């Protein structure tokens, strides 16, 4: 008798899935060559939340929206009420120490104590925002490093990073956490102060239980076995959050699952294997920039891709897989794994969505709703929000 799960066996787990959207994905973004403006782009955090809520309304998958400070500074009581009215809530607060001239040579790692203090204060302000919004997580991504060998004292910078992070950590409330995101290069090209999961792990482990690692899928060298890192961080109890996106070359921030759906499948398999699926301890965030595609559609496509690969990974016959692994039956083990990956779940998912009162095809539903045309008319004037806004 087959032990392979059927689609109806996995729907409870699919129903519990929650993906957090980044507010900045709805703003204009681009490359260093050009930022293309798009009609209907939100002009403030309220309009970003409205677009995020539309994604949730059509997919049932994205009830939480991450904020970026200072880009999303506003009256947070009003913003939280606005979000609640639209059926979503405010989530992770992302700090920004990469757009100020003072931070040219570092922020939390800077040689100058006054600049370090300014960067620490920026993070403390983020925690003030979290107190207001009820957000649990402070996400720290640092654009710090150097471009040339000899330019910087790499070791001194690690020590200062620890000291700065400790001060921020000490300000966290009982229920609050810090997640430290790593990235192997960019904007620095020789060394980066938090380049890899090992450095992030080392720094957060030195702080305490409320500090964890954030894994952005786009932040690894080509060929890196990302699912291994997922496995290890889950094993160590230190995986705090994901930034999902996909990449062909560097930190492309493309729609998740677009470049390598099989990698997404493998990552989610390790999430399931490690007990991380639907765990309240892990934030499943997207971190994307939609430079040329419609932004709301790009977010819908991304959450649906996560859902689709989650469904496929849940269909792995784990009992048979374990037996094959123990027997040293390489071909059967790989067959079982690939069989789940190759299973087309799209029509099952569409039917299931309809059974839950959701559109079978959320992107078509968005197009037919006229929402995009309406915001293009309504959102005239003001400054369109986006990277650097």
With binding defined as CB under 6 A, does residue 94 bind ligand AOS? yes
Least Cβ distance, residue 25 to ligand AOS (angstroms)? 9
Contact code string over 232-271 relative to ligand AOS, x by CB under 6 A:
-----------x-------x--------------------
| CA–CA dist 174, 82 (Å, integer) | 26
95 SS3 class: coil
Strands (E), the chain: 20-22, 64-68, 89-94, 137-141, 145-146, 177-181, 191-192, 211-216, 239-244, 283-286
| CA–CA dist 20, 285 (Å, integer) | 4
Q: Please, what is the Cα angle at 188 between 187 and 193, to 5 degrees?
A: 110
With binding defined as CB under 6 A, does residue 183 bind ligand AOS? yes
Residue 181 or 193: which CB sits closer to ligand AOS? 181
Contact partner, 24, from ligand AOS, Zn ion, none, Cβ < 5-8 Å per class: ligand AOS
Q: Which of 26, 76, 141, 371 contacts ligand AOS by CB under 6 A? A: 141
With binding defined as CB under 6 A, does residue 287 bind ligand AOS? yes
Give 197's contacts (C-beta < 8 A, 6+ positions apart): 182, 213, 215, 229, 232, 233
Contact partner, 227, from Zn ion, ligand AOS, none, Cβ < 5-8 Å per class: none
| CA–CA dist 292, 295 (Å, integer) | 8
246, 257 Cβ separation under 8 angstroms: yes
Least Cβ distance, residue 126 to Zn ion (angstroms)? 15
| CA–CA dist 31, 317 (Å, integer) | 43
Residue nearest to ligand AOS (CB): 141
Ordered DSSP codes for 354-376: HHTTS-SSHHHHHHHHTHHHHHH
Q: Using the 8-state DSSP alphabet, how is residue 191 labeled?
A: E
Residue 58 or 179: which CB sits closer to ligand AOS? 179
| CA–CA dist 177, 280 (Å, integer) | 13
Least Cβ distance, residue 135 to ligand AOS (angstroms)? 15
| Look-up of token digits 């204060």 | 121
Least Cβ distance, residue 333 to ligand AOS (angstroms)? 34
The half-sphere exposure of 198 on its side-chain side, counting CA atoms within 13 A, is 2
With binding defined as CB under 6 A, does residue 216 bind ligand AOS? yes
Residue 193 or 216: which CB sits closer to Zn ion? 216
Least Cβ distance, residue 218 to ligand AOS (angstroms)? 7
Least Cβ distance, residue 326 to ligand AOS (angstroms)? 39
Instruction: Compute how many residues bind ligand AOS; rule: CB under 6 A.
Output: 10
Contact partner, 193, from Zn ion, ligand AOS, none, Cβ < 5-8 Å per class: none
Phi-psi region of 278 (alpha: psi -120 to 50; beta: other; left: phi over 0): left
With binding defined as CB under 6 A, does residue 301 bind ligand AOS? no
Contact code string over 96-135 relative to ligand AOS, x by CB under 6 A:
----------------------------------------
- Residues between 27 and 86 with contacts to ligand AOS, criterion CB under 6 A: 68
165, 194 Cβ separation under 8 angstroms: no
With binding defined as CB under 6 A, does residue 193 bind ligand AOS? no
Q: Please, what is the Cα angle at 372 between 370 and 375, to 5 degrees?
A: 110
The half-sphere exposure of 361 on its side-chain side, counting CA atoms within 13 A, is 7
Contact code string over 242-271 relative to Zn ion, x by CB under 5 A:
-x-------x--------------------
Could you tell me the two tokens for 48? 């970003």
Q: Which of 10, 24, 135, 212 contacts ligand AOS by CB under 6 A? A: 24
With binding defined as CB under 6 A, does residue 284 bind ligand AOS? no
With binding defined as CB under 5 A, does residue 287 bind Zn ion? yes
Residue 72 or 251: which CB sits closer to Zn ion? 251
Residue 365 or 389: which CB sits closer to Zn ion? 389
| CA–CA dist 42, 77 (Å, integer) | 19
Least Cβ distance, residue 158 to Zn ion (angstroms)? 21
Interface residues toward ligand AOS, by CB under 6 A: 24, 68, 94, 141, 181, 183, 216, 243, 251, 287
């Amino acid at each position: 008798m087959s032990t392979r799960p059927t689609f109806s066996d996995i729907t409870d787990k699919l129903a519990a899935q929650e993906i957090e959207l980044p507010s900045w994905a709805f703003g204009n973004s681009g490359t260093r060559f050009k930022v293309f403006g798009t009609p209907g782009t939100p002009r403030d955090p309220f309009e970003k939340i409205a677009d995020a809520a539309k994604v949730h309304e059509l997919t049932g998958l994205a009830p939480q929206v991450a904020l970026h400070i200072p880009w999303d500074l506003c009256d947070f009581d009003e913003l939280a009420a606005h979000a609640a009215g639209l059926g979503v809530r405010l989530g992770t607060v992302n700090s920004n120490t990469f757009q100020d001239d003072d931070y040219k040579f570092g922020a939390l790692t800077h040689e100058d104590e006054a600049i370090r203090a300014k960067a620490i204060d920026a993070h403390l302000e983020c925690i003030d925002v979290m107190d207001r919004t009820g957000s649990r997580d402070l996400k720290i991504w640092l654009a710090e490093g150097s471009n040339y060998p000899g330019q910087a004292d790499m070791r001194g910078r690690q020590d200062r990073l620890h000291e700065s992070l400790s001060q921020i950590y000490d300000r966290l409330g009982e229920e609050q956490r810090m997640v430290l995101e790593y990235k192997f290069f960019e904007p620095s090209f020789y060394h980066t102060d938090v380049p890899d999961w090992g450095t992030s792990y080392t720094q957060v482990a030195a702080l305490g239980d409320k500090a964890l690692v954030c894994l952005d899928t786009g932040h690894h060298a080509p060929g890196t076995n990302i699912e291994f890192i997922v496995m290890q961080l889950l094993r160590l109890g230190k995986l705090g959050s994901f930034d999902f996106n996909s990449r062909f070359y560097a930190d492309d921030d493309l729609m998740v699952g677009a470049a390598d759906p099989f990698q997404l499948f493998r990552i989610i398999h390790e999430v399931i294997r490690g007990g991380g699926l639907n765990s309240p301890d892990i934030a499943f965030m997207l971190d994307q920039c939609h430079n040329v595609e419609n932004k709301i559609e790009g977010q819908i496509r991304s959450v649906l891709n996560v859902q689709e690969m989650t469904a496929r990974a849940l269909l792995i016959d784990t009992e048979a897989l374990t037996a094959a692994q123990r027997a040293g039956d390489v071909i059967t083990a790989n067959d079982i794994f690939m069989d789940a990956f190759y299973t087309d779940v799209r029509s099952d998912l569409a039917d299931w969505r309809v059974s839950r009162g959701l559109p079978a095809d959320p992107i078509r539903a968005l197009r037919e709703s006229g929402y995009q045309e309406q915001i293009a008319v309504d959102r005239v004037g003001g400054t369109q929000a986006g990277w650097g806004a």
